[in-house]
Amino acid sequence: TEEKLRTTEKLAVIGELAAGIAHEIRNPLTSLQGFVQLFQSESKTDNPLHRIMLDELERINLIASELLVLSRPQEIAFTETNVQTALHDIVRLLNTEASLYGAKITLDAKEELFINGDKNQLKQLFINIIKNATEAGASSITVSLTKKFDLLWIEVKDDGCGMDQARIDKLGEPFFSRKEKGTGLGLTVSHKIIAAHEGTIQYKSKVGQGTTVIISFPAI
Ligand code: ADP
Ligand code: MG
């Protein structure tokens, strides 16, 4: 469709520009962060401006790294990847932060299941999807892993704010975000990772009730 074409075009342009820009931004950013940290440690009273500056610098850092993932030529290291372990690591990592917001992430993955994939990219994908669930204001998030026929299925179900169809149709479009601090690149990166692994992604959502993201990969 025209919408799809537009997305592909945008991605191509981003691909060309982003790597260069992200790279150029990194060095001055790192030195700025260093200076602010120095000011912070030198000042006797806690200055909220330092914290705000560090937060904002960290945000630029996040955008730059997402652009790098998007634009980096596919240097994927495919190996036999244990999806149960990957999910376990990510859920444990994200539960610490989620608990601060009163949310709980539960993992239902009893079987050790494998795909041919890039461990780091897959972890990045799971982080992006689960983070969106916590940011949607969910109090309960369930991540499940199952195998059906020759496919592994990963479901991330949340009871957050949900989305209408118009919003679902825009998911993955670069810079589409409804968050004050969103980059709108998380799902663009995620869709790219899934495509590189010959997987699929589906969204089921109801406004006010929650969202279920369903991802599949060829099993090995
Ligand atoms: P970002 O998180 O930076 O906004 P994403 O690409 O990760 O960018 O997501 C794009 C948008 O999709 C979000 O701003 C949000 O509006 C919507 N979205 C994604 N996942 C969910 C979810 N689980 N529940 C509700 N809305 C979601
Ligand atoms: Mg996101």
Ligand 2 centre and the CA of 20: distance in Å? 23
What is the pLDDT at residue 213?
A: 98
Strands of the sheet containing 104-108, edge to edge, are 104-108, 140-148, 151-158, 210-218, 200-206
Query: Residue with the nearest Cα to atom 16 of ligand 1?
Result: 178
- What pLDDT sits at residue 2? 65
The string over 179-201, giving b where at least 16 C-beta atoms fall within 10 Å of a residue's C-beta and e elsewhere, is: eeeebbbbbbbbbbbbeebebeb
Kindly state if the Cβ of 190 falls inside 6 Å of ligand 1: no
pLDDT at res. 84: 98
Give nearest CA residue, ligand 1 atom 2: 182
Ligand 1 atom nearest 183 alpha carbon: 3
The phi and psi torsions of 83 (rounded to 5 degrees) equal: -70, -35
Pairwise CA distance, residues 174 & 7, whole Å: 7
- Token readout for 206 is 């109801």
Rounded to a whole number of angstroms, the CA Rg of the chain reads 19
Q: pTM (2 decimals)? A: 0.80
Q: State the pLDDT at residue 150.
A: 96
Q: Which pLDDT does position 167 carry in this prediction?
A: 96
Query: What's the number of CA atoms in the CB half-sphere (13 Å) around residue 47?
Result: 13
pLDDT value, residue 72: 65
pLDDT in tens, the chain (220 residues): 666 667 667 666 666 677 778 878 888 999 999 999 999 999 888 889 999 999 899 888 888 887 777 776 656 789 999 999 999 999 998 998 898 888 999 999 999 999 999 988 899 899 999 999 999 999 999 999 999 999 999 999 999 999 999 999 999 998 889 888 888 989 998 999 999 999 999 999 999 999 999 999 999 9
> What backbone phi and psi angles, to 5 degrees, belong to 49?
-60, -35
